[in-house]
Amino acid sequence: MRKVVVFVGWMSLLSVGLCSVEAKGEKKEKSSVKKEAFGKTEDGLAVERYTLTNAVGSTAKIITYGALLTELNVPDRDGKLGDVVLGFDNLKDYLAEHPYFGATVGRVANRIAKGTFTLEGKTYKLAINNPPNTLHGGQKGFDKVVWKAEPKATPDGPSLELSYVSKDGEEGYPGTLTAHVTYTLTNDNALRIDYTATTDKATPVNLTNHSYFNLAGTKTGDILDHELTVFATKYTPTDETLIPTGEIKPVQDTPFDFTKPRRIGERIDRLKGEPGGYDLNYVLTKDKKEPTLAARVSEPKSGRVMEVLTTEPGIQLYSGNFLDGKLKGRGDVVYKKHWGFCLEAQHFPDAVHHERFPTMILKPGETYKQTTIYAFKTK
């Protein structure tokens, strides 16, 4: 393997880990990682964008701000590449308020009730950024910081490792946490995301990716005709602020039952409350060391199929309920209600308050590990 650095005007392109891998029935390509400038934050920190291209020509684009996935181009049944994640053309829009498009969220993804928790006899207070609760790490979670990036070549495909050190007391959380997130775009068209973290004090940790998917393409309309299967027979009911009650209930005879393939929009009008739609955590069979199939989504027009495999005990289905047409994405597309869906592999929301839930507490000497794979094919 070799590294080649090419400078083109204002933009530097770094091509890493070139390899020639022949995929059955596909044109032979060279996999690569290319780097370019993507602007600066308001406090002057440079942000980079990396493009991962696999051996069959699919691409994933990731920026160091928020360790964020901005584009994911995979083929439809005719072999035509199309972007399947919602996002923006420029850094300015990512710096403004948006619903976590493509972001790595933490230190604790999802909600913590009333923005407070007690650990080892001490009470910690967090920012209330989703009243009356804390959401996705607080006011300045992992989605709003600049990560360090290191491109890598792997036998499976091009890879990018991002790292961030969250200092003791950041957003109210105890302990200095060192986090790593690695994206690998495999040569068989899977986006694999590996997470690790270590700490010097006991602290809650729950990392996930918050991409909004639309398998028909981000310019095509809502996702209500996507066919979804979730391989879970139970879920965690919530109160009106989306905090789990602590119960674990069966999905049978509820609109939440996707144990057999169903259109996302088939029973969405049966869901009570505003703004209407799915936003709940499914209980997977158990916390496994190896990624296990958690969900499958297919889109009839494009023929794209996405399977989600994870090591996590839960997965959050969100149907883009709060997209309201106020945000304009790539190519000036207006993102309306239900324009994308999320499948966020995670520990259960508010687990710090529920002993029955799998613990999200990481202690010194331990290593947090999580792997989630979004695998694409066609039918």
| Residues carrying an active site annotation | 210, 344
Is residue 101 within 8 Å of 87, Cβ to Cβ? yes
Residues paired with residue 292 on neighbouring β-strands, in sequence order:
310
| CA 158 – CA 177 distance, rounded (Å) | 26
Is residue 57 within 8 Å of 72, Cβ to Cβ? no
Q: Sign (positive/negative) of CA torsion 359, 362, 366, 367?
A: positive
Closest C-alpha to 274, from 244, 240, 251, 245:
240
| CA 118 – CA 365 distance, rounded (Å) | 21
Which helix (H) or strand (E) element contains residue 95? Answer: helix 91-95
Give the tokens for residue 5.
Answer: 């650095």
Residues 6+ apart with CB under 8 A from 80: none
238-242 contacts, C-beta under 8 A, 24 or more apart: 238/280, 238/349, 240/273, 241/111, 241/113, 241/132, 241/133, 242/111, 242/133, 242/279, 242/349
Count of alpha carbons within 13 Å of 150, Cβ hemisphere only?
8
